[in-house]
Amino acid sequence: MRITRLHIRDFRRLHDVDVRPGPGVNLLIGPNGAGKTSVLEAIHLMAYGRSFRGRVRDGLIRTGAAAVEVFVEWDDAGRERRAGLRRGGDRWEGRLDGASVDQLGDLCAALAVVSFEPGSHALVAGGGEPRRRFLDWGLFHVEHEFLPAWRRYARALRQRNALLKAQRGDAELDGWEHEMAVAGETMTRLRAGYVDTLQAALADVVPVIAPSLGAAGMEFVAGWKRADLSLRDALLISRERDRLSGHTTVGPHRADWRVHVAATPQGEALSRGQAKLVALACLLAQAQDLAGRQGQWPIVVLDDLASELDAHHRERALGLLAATRAQVFVSGTDLQPLASAAAAGATVFHVEQGSLIPDGPAGPGASGAAVPPKML
């Protein structure tokens, strides 16, 4: 998978940026506040429907503009594809390959992007929500059965919670708990299998980028005592407690997973540096698994890599990615820490006051001169 054109309008500091990235490593170099992260954030938005900095509406639209627009063209295993997203306030519009998109998830499922940024350590050091999103994003791309089950479960969960808050009777709860059980058991089976698959990929990645961590393993937590109870029974048993709390306390929406590394005794917290390495290893393991199933790597985004990893681990990570021939976007304030990637043929862009200036003659990596696309 390779982005051939990226057009961004009114995205944070970026007014109107049109860039044609190189096929391999792309380096975005510039001072803080120049707009490097905004470019990477726009790519992430197209794959997730949200920013990696938080909620979409929080400062995403450039001051004075009505909406943010992002347009992407990419090569998908030899097939030319294109997508556009326009978002203003709580309203969004999307197009995929020339057709309107009703569900944002359908648009996001088309372009696969794996992102590592300064907040990524929360994947292993924070609460369970980022880890559930991590699993679900991967499953959206590799298991067609997952998304319908996820939507069915989410709808039933909302209905059950509303009934609990309203103190409604058992007969009404029975039907929605049946829905939750059917969809939730499917979700959990797929999640558990996916964690097993990722564990094998993680065992390949960790020795390459962070051998000091030692052997790594993953453990899946279903969200209820799955070894002892079916989900249907767990919901029934928790019903009175859930009535008191006004929400559902067991189920796949409480699922989680953990990573164990030999360098840290079980039960001991990872250091911040270790958490960053483990998070990056998990993300690259996910990308490697996706590549194995689909025959091509997803787009890889690495924001402020020089600040997040020391030189030794940075070189190892970039070396692994260079060997895969994945398309990679890396931001940094200085080219020197990324000089080895530049010397190996990376496409370099200098980012200045919201503009991208390619380093060298126009060609792959040219920016700013193309005819703006009609996004929507």
Q: Average pLDDT for residues 166-188, to the nearest whole number?
A: 95
pLDDT for 4 equals: 95
Range name among 2-6, 87-91, 235-239 with the lowest pLDDT average: 87-91
Mean pLDDT of 351-363: 70
Residue range(s) defining the domain that contains residue 219: 121-294
Q: Residue-wise over 134-155: b if at least 16 C-beta within 10 A, else e?
A: bbbbbbbbbbeebbebbebbee
pLDDT tens for 189-217 read 999 999 999 999 999 999 999 998 889 99
**Residue 55 pLDDT:** 52
Looking at the fold, whether 331 and 359 belong to one and the same domain comes out as yes
3-state secondary structure 217-253: EEEEECCCCCCCCCHHHHHHHCHHHHHHHCCCCCCHH
Identify the domain boundary among 250, 276, 294: 294
138 and 84, same structural domain?
Answer: no
pLDDT of residue 310: 85
pLDDT for the residue 337: 80
Residue 269 has pLDDT above 60, yes or no: yes
pLDDT band at 47 (very low <50, low <70, confident <90, very high): confident
Any idea which of 175-184, 194-203, 354-363 has the lowest mean pLDDT? 354-363
What per-residue confidence (pLDDT) applies to 363? Answer: 41
> Do 97 and 138 belong together in one domain?
no
- The verdict on 207 and 126 lying in the same domain is yes
pLDDT tier, 374 (very low <50, low <70, confident <90, very high otherwise): low
- 141 and 253: one domain? yes
376: nearest Cα among 7, 18, 5: 7
Q: How many domains is the chain built from?
A: 2
Is the domain of 135 the same as that of 252?
yes
| CA gap 22, 87 in Å, rounded | 27
pLDDT digits (tens, 9 = 90+) for 125-134: 888 999 999 9
Domain boundary among 245, 260, 294: 294
Please say which residue of 268, 294, 320 terminates a domain. 294
Q: How far apart are CA 108 and CA 96, in angstroms?
A: 10
**Average pLDDT in the chain:** 87
CATH code of the domain in which 20 resides = 3.40.50.300
Do 139 and 242 belong to one domain? yes
More confident: 13 or 209: 209
CATH number at residue 178: 1.20.1050.90
Q: How confident is the model over 110-138, as a mean pLDDT?
A: 90
Check the CA dihedral 306-309-312-315 and report its sign: negative
> Containing H/E element for 113?
strand 113-116
Average pLDDT over residues 23-44: 89
Residue 312 in tokens: 């030794």
- In this model, does residue 50 exceed pLDDT 80? no
The CA distance from 180 to 280, in Å, is 33
369: pLDDT strictly greater than 50: no
Position 8 pLDDT exceeds 50? yes
The confidence score (pLDDT) of residue 119 equals: 84
